[in-house]
């Protein structure tokens, strides 16, 4: 902020110094005197002027604006509609079952919180006896950001089902668009009037579906159609119906080449969901005496999710294992983390046109067993092998389809 807000006493003292230095007849001002009253009255007016100047500044320099100031700045940047609405949370669920078991898209999961999540894509259990599936809450709002290890019940479980759990907290649920996303959208608002650009299509899609974050240009497919991936705000996949509606919304704004006018109403643009690149993290740890494993697990998961936030990921970045390790070591409640048992064990480049997303997460004790609370709700035998370390599954995890 260019305008520096100053307290009333500081402004009053500044007024007194200027007043005393400008004449010689009055040399002090005491409480209750006319001079002090003038100083405080002038300081109050000056303070109000500074506050108003800062408010107007926020409209012009939106990097400094927050809350209501951003709401009032949006129309000045020609952004229609204001903040986007609520969104449901998403997360990954670990599915353990007999080989060949199939979980159909649409199955629902719940837990003690009562929030219901729906499986987005069909998941098949391969030779290793487990897989991961993405789930999305059926209702919207920040209350759907449920904690980890809470989605343990499934409706209409298929034959062969043994166990399900969300190793990570659900994330992405919101009541209204947060300041950072809203600010970024305000900055790109002029793209709504830039015909033939990605920004134009993104802005039109956001008006159609508030869960759209941005488009990624993937090039052309074998038929010559331009292919673009749509990235969501909360990590959820768009259904075929939702993608169809988005394509219909942007069709009037496509260029002549993209329309491919052939008399049949064909459109030379294909929309698809972004391909995520899953990241799995496991670590052995010794906690400080008295530390709550649930709180440590939740805080660590939040730090890892922030470090791998796909919304701000840039093409060419790598997943740095030492950054993940440092985030774990700096988590409150952590006493000791042996490096040799931390997974992943090396840096990993994220493939082009893919984005990282945290999928699996296991917090273990120094013996390689799952750290649980006093209720011991997690049963370690659902994790194959003598320990629950992901390092024992390092040849398996990359082959999972989720």
Look up the CATH number of the domain holding residue 231. 3.30.300
207 membership: H or E segment, kind and range: helix 198-208
Tokens of 245: 């509606």
Q: Is the pLDDT of residue 215 over 80?
A: yes
In this prediction, residues 37-62 reach a mean pLDDT of 81
- Range 166-191 average pLDDT: 86
**Would residue 388 count as lying in a domain?**
yes
Average pLDDT, the chain: 84
Q: Are residues 227 and 287 located together in one domain of the fold?
A: no
Highest mean pLDDT among 36-50, 144-158, 357-371: 144-158
Q: Specify the pLDDT at position 128.
A: 83
239-258 pLDDT, tens digit per residue, is: 999 999 998 888 887 765 55
Instruction: Note whether 195 and 260 are same-domain residues.
Output: yes
Q: Are residues 261 and 290 in the same domain?
A: no
**Does residue 133 lie in a domain region?**
yes
The reply to whether 349 falls in a domain is: yes
Interval 349-367 mean pLDDT: 90
Give bridge partners of residue 110 from the DSSP assignment.
153
Evaluate whether residue 65 is within a structural domain. Answer: no
Model pLDDT, residue 376: 47
Q: Is residue 390 predicted with pLDDT exceeding 80?
A: no
Residue 211's nearest CA partner among 87, 56, 351, 43 is 87
The structure tokens listed for 10 are: 């500081």
Lowest pLDDT segment from 4-18, 124-138, 270-284: 4-18
| Residue range of the domain that includes 27 | 8-60
Dihedral-angle region of residue 376 (phi above 0 means left; psi in -120 to 50 means alpha; beta otherwise) = left
Residue 122 above 90 pLDDT? yes
Residue 392 lies in a domain: yes
Looking at the fold, whether 300 and 335 belong to one and the same domain comes out as: yes
Task: Collapse the DSSP code of 109 into the 3-class scheme (helix H, G, I; strand E, B; otherwise coil) and give the result.
Answer: strand
Answer yes or no: is pLDDT of 169 > 90: yes
Domain boundary among 258, 273, 288: 273
Number of folded domains that form the chain? 4
Rounded mean pLDDT, 277-283? 91
- Please state the rounded mean pLDDT for residues 203-218: 89
User: Among candidates 165, 162, 161, which has minimal Cα distance to 109?
Assistant: 165
Strand 226-232 relative to strand 269-273: parallel, antiparallel, unpaired? parallel
As a 3-state breakdown, the chain gives helix, strand, coil percent values, each rounded to 5, of 35, 20, 45
Q: Is 152 inside a domain boundary?
A: yes
Asked, for residue 263, whether it belongs to a domain, the answer is: yes
Residue 386 has pLDDT above 70, yes or no: no
Residues 350 and 313 in one domain: yes
Are 139 and 98 members of one domain?
Answer: yes
Specify the pairing of strand 161-165 against strand 90-97: antiparallel
Strands 269-273 and 286-287: unpaired
Of 22-36, 318-332, 333-347, give the lowest mean pLDDT range: 22-36
Q: Is residue 3 part of a domain?
A: no
Dump the DSSP string for 75-106: GGGT--S-S---B--EEEEEEEESTT-EE-TT
Q: Judging by beta carbons within 10 Å of its beta carbon (0-12, 13-18, 19+), is residue 398 exposed, middle or buried? A: exposed
Sign of CA dihedral 300, 327, 276, 162: negative
Is the same domain home to 290 and 394?
yes
Q: What is the arithmetic mean of pLDDT over 6-32?
A: 84
pLDDT of the residue at 301: 92
Q: What is the mean pLDDT of residues 10-22?
A: 86
Highest averaged pLDDT of the listed ranges 60-64, 68-72, 171-175? 171-175
Same domain, 323 and 391: yes
Is the pTM value of this prediction over 0.75? yes
Domain end marker among 223, 252, 273 = 273
Identify the pLDDT of residue 255: 65
User: Quick one: what percent of the chain has pLDDT higher than 70?
Assistant: 88
Please give the angle made by the CA atoms of 311, 315 and 256, to the nearest 5 degrees.
85
Instruction: Point out which residues pair with 286 in neighbouring strands.
Output: 336
Same domain, 262 and 279: no
- The string of DSSP codes covering 294-337 is HHHHHHHHHHHHHHT-GGG--TT-EE-HHHHHHHHHTSTTEEE-
| Residues 151 and 111: beta-carbon distance below 8 Å | yes
Q: Are residues 107 and 156 in the same domain?
A: yes
β strands within 183-244, DSSP E: 212-220, 226-232
Return the beta strands (E) in 10-89 as ranges: none
Between 377 and 397, name the one with better pLDDT: 397
Question: Which of residues 253, 273, 293 is at a domain's end?
Answer: 273
381 and 287 inside one domain:
yes
Contact 208, 175 (CB under 8 A): no
Instruction: Find where tokens 């007194």 sit.
Output: 16
E strand or H helix that includes residue 257: helix 256-259
pLDDT higher for 116 or 177?
Answer: 116
Which pLDDT does position 267 carry in this prediction?
A: 67
State whether 158 and 97 are in the same domain.
Answer: yes
């Amino acid at each position: 902020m260019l305008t520096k807000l100053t307290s009333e006493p500081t402004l009053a003292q500044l007024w007194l110094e200027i007043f005393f230095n400008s004449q010689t007849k009055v040399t002090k001002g005491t409480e209750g005197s006319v001079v002090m009253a003038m100083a405080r009255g002038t300081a109050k007016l000056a303070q109000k002027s500074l506050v108003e100047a800062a408010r107007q500044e926020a409209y012009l320099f939106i990097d400094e604006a927050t809350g209501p100031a951003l709401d009032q700045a949006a129309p000045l940047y020609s952004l229609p509609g204001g903040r986007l609405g609520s969104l449901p949370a998403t997360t990954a669920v670990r599915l353990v079952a007999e080989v060949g078991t199939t979980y159909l898209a649409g199955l629902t999961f719940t837990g003690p919180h009562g929030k219901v999540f729906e499986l987005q894509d069909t998941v098949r259990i391969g030779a290793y006896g487990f897989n991961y599936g993405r789930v999305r809450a059926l209702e919207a709002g920040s209350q759907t950001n449920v904690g980890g290890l809470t989605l343990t019940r499934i409706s209409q479980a298929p034959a062969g089902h043994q166990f399900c759990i969300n190793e990570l907290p659900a994330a992405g649920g919101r009541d209204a668009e947060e300041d950072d996303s809203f600010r970024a959208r305000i900055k790109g608002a002029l793209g709504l009037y830039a015909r033939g650009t990605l920004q134009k299509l993104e802005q039109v899609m956001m008006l159609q579906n508030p869960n759209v974050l941005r488009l990624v240009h993937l090039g052309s497919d074998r038929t010559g159609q331009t292919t673009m991936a749509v990235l969501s705000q909360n990590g959820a996949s768009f259904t075929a119906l939702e993608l169809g509606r988005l394509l219909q919304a942007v069709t009037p704004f496509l260029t002549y080449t993209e329309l491919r006018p052939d008399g049949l109403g064909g459109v030379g643009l294909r929309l698809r969901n972004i391909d995520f690149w899953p990241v799995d993290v496991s670590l052995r740890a010794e906690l400080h005496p008295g530390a709550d494993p649930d709180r440590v697990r939740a805080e660590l998961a939040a730090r890892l999710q922030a470090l791998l936030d796909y919304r701000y990921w840039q093409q060419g970045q790598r997943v740095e294992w030492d950054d993940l390790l440092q985030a774990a070591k700096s988590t409150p409640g952590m006493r000791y983390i042996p490096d040799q048992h931390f997974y992943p064990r090396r840096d990993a480049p994220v493939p082009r046109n893919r984005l990282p997303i945290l999928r699996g997460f296991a917090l273990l004790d120094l013996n390689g067993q799952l750290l649980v609370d006093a209720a011991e709700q997690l049963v370690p035998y659902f994790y194959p092998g003598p320990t629950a370390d992901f390092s024992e599954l390092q040849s398996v995890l990359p082959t999972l389809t989720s």
